[in-house]
Amino acid sequence: PRLVLTVSPQVGSYRDISYESLSLFRLLEPHIEILVLGTGDRVERLHPAMLRQMRECGIAVEVQDTPNACATFNFLTSEQRMVAAGLIPP
């Protein structure tokens, strides 16, 4: 399986994360199962409607602080899962 790690230049803060800013992840082929989002130094709450929209597209979103998001991404790739990561530097 092909695995992708992405850092988006349009997203400088967790406040910039939106359904639109995550559009790249919905276009990937093969389709990803899980999107791991690292929100910097702390876990930040994202808008529930945006998370629901991603689930409706078949993508589960896991939100963590960035160091833990990196570890989760590595773990999921070791399990051969179709996963991508969007990471905001801590």
Instruction: Give residue 43's pLDDT.
Output: 97
- Interval 50-72: pLDDT, tens: 999 999 999 999 999 999 999 99
Question: For residues 41 and 21, what is the distance between their CA atoms, to the nearest angstrom?
Answer: 20
Q: Quote the number of domains for the chain.
A: 1
Asked whether residue 3 is assigned to any structural domain, the reply reads no
The helix (H) or strand (E) run that includes residue 52 is helix 48-56
User: What's the first-to-final CA gap in the chain, in angstroms?
Assistant: 29
User: What whole-number percentage of the chain has pLDDT above 70?
Assistant: 89
Asked whether residue 2 is assigned to any structural domain, the reply reads no
Question: For residues 85 and 28, what is the distance between their CA atoms, to the nearest angstrom?
Answer: 12
Asked whether residue 82 is assigned to any structural domain, the reply reads yes
Instruction: Give residue 81's pLDDT.
Output: 94
- Interval 4-17: pLDDT, tens: 455 555 777 889 89
Question: For residues 31 and 15, what is the distance between their CA atoms, to the nearest angstrom?
Answer: 25
SS3 19: coil
pTM attached to this predicted model: 0.88
